[in-house]
Amino acid sequence: MPFPEHSVSRRAILAAGVTAATAVALNAPRAMAATAPPAPAAETGWVNSTLRRMTLEEKVGQLFTTRVYGESADTSDPDAVRTNQSFLGVDNAAQAVARYHLGGFVYFAYAGNTRAPEQVAGLSNGIQRVALEQSSRVPLLLSIDQEQGAVVRLGPPATQFPGNMALAAGRSVADAGIAAGITGQELRSVGVNQNLAPVADVNVNPANPVIGVRSFGESPELAAEMVAAQVRAYQAAGVAATVKHFPGHGDTAVDSHSGLPVINHSRTELDRIDLPPFRAAIAAGADVLMTAHIVVPALDPSGDPATLSHPILTGLLREELGFDGVVVTDSLGMAGVRQKYGDERVPVLALKAGADMLVNPPVMRIAYEAVLAAVRSGELTERRIEESVARVLRLKWRRGIVRAPFVGTADVADTVGTPDHLAVAQRITDRTTTLLRDEAGALPLRPTDRVLVTGWDDPAAPTTTAALGRALTDRGLATDVLSTGAKPSRARIDAAVAAARSHGATVVLTNRAAADPGQQQLVKALLASGARVVVVAVRDPYDVMCFPEVPTYLTTYAFNDVAMRSLAGVLTGAIQPAGRLPVTIPDPTRPGTPLFPFGAGLTTI
């Protein structure tokens, strides 16, 4: 069995294409070494003895987790040092641990933390070594947003999956668990012991600018099953699951990074739509829940975001839903939590509301000193601080971080991105590509076609069109690639139309086309040219609302290489499409009518 207790069956693993070697890699002995429940007396004894020897400053530090720049714990890179000084007031991670007695760090690619798996393992070991040299001798939570699909911090060679909405399109709860299990195993091997995943938001708003494909879709029941499966799989792999964003960020047209969303669901709607995945996560034993910077008037009419709301975090989450794990905030640098109160008040109010860990305050010194001052003034009691510290310490014990804080860097290559893991990821992804329309009979692409791949791409590095081009070439088709970037200019649109006229078929990729008139103009110009056009949304499936007349339309929910290889298989007929929409796509010309209903998807071409 790959996972202890609440496990995916061996039959499901074999159906996913996991070889015997991978089954061994995922099986119970390795996972249980980090997650087997300790004797209650041992856990309680360690937590209590640790609390007794900690100073107030050390206790408060345990409640913070922050980003840090640099590839190593003691980096001296001038750019990293300069940036760390700007918001941490120190040069590097080692100095931050010593100064603030931190409870954890969050790794980011942009911060230079995740250049390569072996480097991440070295960074993790360096940080843990410094933590254990402090007087409290408490190892750190080292976390990452490895949601898969659209949100990934550790790229290849780590195994990539297509993300939550794609998994939901595949409708396999077993696949969701296997994807989380492989992701968790690879993270644990590089010293990451907390994943800021899975996303439990139920995406019922096609205009949602921040969740979309990060969600398992619009079905609360399907999302609940998949969230629970991923919680169990992550934690069986020795990685704390962090279920987000409570109480549900799925029905908003505002991004909480840049504004303060208001969710106008009634309490009845919240119980029916938003809360089921969180209830399922709690029942599955989730270690951590993350708060959302959203206002929910039905739960708290004060106008405070959930992160700062006592009725939501304590009244609903703690008392009504019975969650006694760690409550962690979303980033305190986001606009949604900073609009109403100053940065020195936000961490104090979050703790008063019921949060345990405070993530990424804009200026660490201000936040840390504000919490210390609140305790010394009596606004926060030391007992309240200790309640949260005890939860954090229990998590570190139960997830095996106290017993095994270090990882073997020599073993990383035997775990991360192995051929078995990559093969499983491809097989799972092959079950997710969704064909919604082929009225023109454009598929499969003919072996004699010369194919043009054009459309959306990352402007910094045109990797998606190139990946699809390679995959089609590998399938035996003559293929040319003409990337138009993220926001195509008139000149690039004209170039793509001219190229399409000399090709037997054109595949055009889109990504959130509703926000980009250039992408809409590109698709419409290609359709008007008379070329044989296949349109593929490589992120949110709702792009077709911008050009509902398109005759051939697919969606992959992801734009990474594994998704492009599956897409190539479907386009050429080597793989039959199997994905079914996990959301409803409204008809923009007929309000209240679906263009494609939940569950739509052609399964033969």
Contact (Cβ atoms closer than 8 angstroms) between residue 456 and residue 568: no
Helix (H, G, I), strand (E, B) or coil at 452: strand
Q: Which of 175, 330, 356, 457 is catalytic?
A: 330
Q: Which of 6, 74, 77, 257 is catalytic?
A: 257
Question: How many whole angstroms separate alpha carbon 173 and alpha carbon 232?
Answer: 12
Question: How many whole angstroms separate alpha carbon 325 and alpha carbon 319?
Answer: 12
Question: How many whole angstroms separate alpha carbon 484 and alpha carbon 491?
Answer: 9
Question: How many whole angstroms separate alpha carbon 574 and alpha carbon 566?
Answer: 9
Amino acid at 158: A
Closest to 194 measured CA to CA, from 160, 240, 152: 240
What is the number of residues in the chain? 605
Question: How many whole angstroms separate alpha carbon 337 and alpha carbon 330?
Answer: 9
Residue with tokens 């938003």: 274
Closest to 186 measured CA to CA, from 415, 423, 419, 428: 415
**DSSP letter for each residue of 555-591:** E-S--SHHHHHHHHHHHTTSS------SS-EE-TTST
Q: Give, rounded to a whole angstrom, the gap between the first and last alpha carbons of the chain.
A: 37
Going from the C-alpha of 65 to that of each of 106, 246, 346, 368, the distances in angstroms are 7, 19, 15, 11
Q: Could you tell me which residues come within 8 angstroms of residue 288 by beta carbon, excluding any fewer than 6 positions away?
A: 194, 240, 241, 242, 243, 325, 326, 327, 328, 395
Backbone Cα Rg of the chain:
24
CA within 13 Å, CB half, 164 = 32
Helix (H, G, I), strand (E, B) or coil at 68: coil
Contact (Cβ atoms closer than 8 angstroms) between residue 560 and residue 471: no
Q: Is 310 a catalytic residue?
A: no
Q: Is 265 a catalytic residue?
A: no
Strand partners, 452: 480, 506
Instruction: Look at the alpha carbons of 417, 418, 420, 422 in this order and tell me if their dihedral is positive or negative.
Output: positive
Contact (Cβ atoms closer than 8 angstroms) between residue 241 and residue 286: yes
Closest to 259 measured CA to CA, from 292, 214, 290, 213: 292
- Name the residues annotated as catalytic: 257, 330
